[in-house]
Amino acid sequence: MVDYLWNTQSPLQKALVAGRHGVAGAQAGVTLVEVRDLVLVQVMARRGKAADTAKAAKKLFGVDAPNTPKAVAGKSATLVWSGPDQFTVLAPRTDESSQIDAMSQAFSGAASLSDQSDGRCLIRVSGPRGRDAIAKFSSLDLHDAAFPVGTAANTSVDHTAVNCWREANGADGHPVYSMLVFTSFADSLWHAIVDSSLEYGVDTSRTRAA
């Protein structure tokens, strides 16, 4: 008889070995972080209810929901465009059921919600060579002019669908990219990013969403 354990664990439980990998040096070229403890909800406006959805989002988060590929920081959550008339709400996990209840009430009748909190894994790539590492497996143009802070994109990297967006620059002044990936593909994508980063030296770690 097998005992099943229902403890939630990260899809990167095995793949993520915290520390320095690849080229050793004073400073790692790439910093790779798994961001845990998120509440993630997909919001899709219902037929003819795009305006109601936008209004509800504005009321709940205090910002206009993105209607082009952008990520906007709102009150207590980040809203990331994920398709026409749909976006993903990303918030640090405090009390998950009350966080989701608040959204269900706010979007009631206007949009359909889908809880993806344990369905996706959030990987954050930064550091002076982070962009170079991503360029090896993504066909997105990540030049400052084409992909400034706040830009988002749904794209396929390494045969895997990701929602990617650019955060505010890090304390070191270098760009920071977030990638949301399906949990079952997280392990594979993680390896792809680490492999691409080895020649620059990469620091890996995990953190709680803040």
Partner 1 sequence: MRIACPFCGERENGEFTYLGDASPKRPTFAVDSGESPERVEDAFYDYVYLRDNVAGFMREYWYHGGGCRSWLIAERNTVTHEFRSVTAAPGVGASKPVQAGE
**Cα separations in angstroms, 83 against 45, 48, 68, 106, 122:** 11, 16, 8, 20, 18
- At its nearest, how many Å lie between partner 1 and the CB of residue 133? 19
Q: CB-wise, 37 or 182, nearer to partner 1? A: 182
> In angstroms, rounded to a whole number, what is the distance separating the alpha carbons of residues 184 and 148?
29
Among candidates 208, 198, 188, which has minimal Cα distance to 35?
208
Nearer to partner 1, 107 or 200 (CB): 107
Closest separation between CB of residue 160 and partner 1, Å?
Answer: 9
- Least Cβ distance, residue 51 to partner 1 (angstroms): 8
- CA 111/CA 134 separation, integer angstroms: 34
Comparing CB distances to partner 1, the nearer of 111 and 133 is: 111
Angle formed at CA 119 by CA 186 and CA 89, multiple of 5 degrees: 110
Between 15 and 140, name the residue whose CB sits nearer to partner 1: 140
Binding site for partner 1 (CB under 8 A): 44-50, 53, 68-69, 82-86, 139, 153-156, 161
End-to-end CA distance of the chain: 41
Other beta carbons within 10 angstroms of residue 28's beta carbon come to 22
Minimum CB separation of residue 153 from partner 1 in Å reads 6
Q: How far is CA 112 from the centre of its chain?
A: 20
**Shortest Å distance, C-beta 32 to partner 1:** 23
Q: Which is nearer to partner 1, 85 or 203 (by Cβ)?
A: 85
- Whose CA is closest to 137, among 13, 30, 209? 30
Shorter beta-carbon distance to partner 1: residue 46 or 93: 46
- The CA-atom distances, in angstroms, between 74 and each of 56, 79, 187 are 13, 7, 30
Smallest distance from the beta carbon of 50 to partner 1, in angstroms? 4
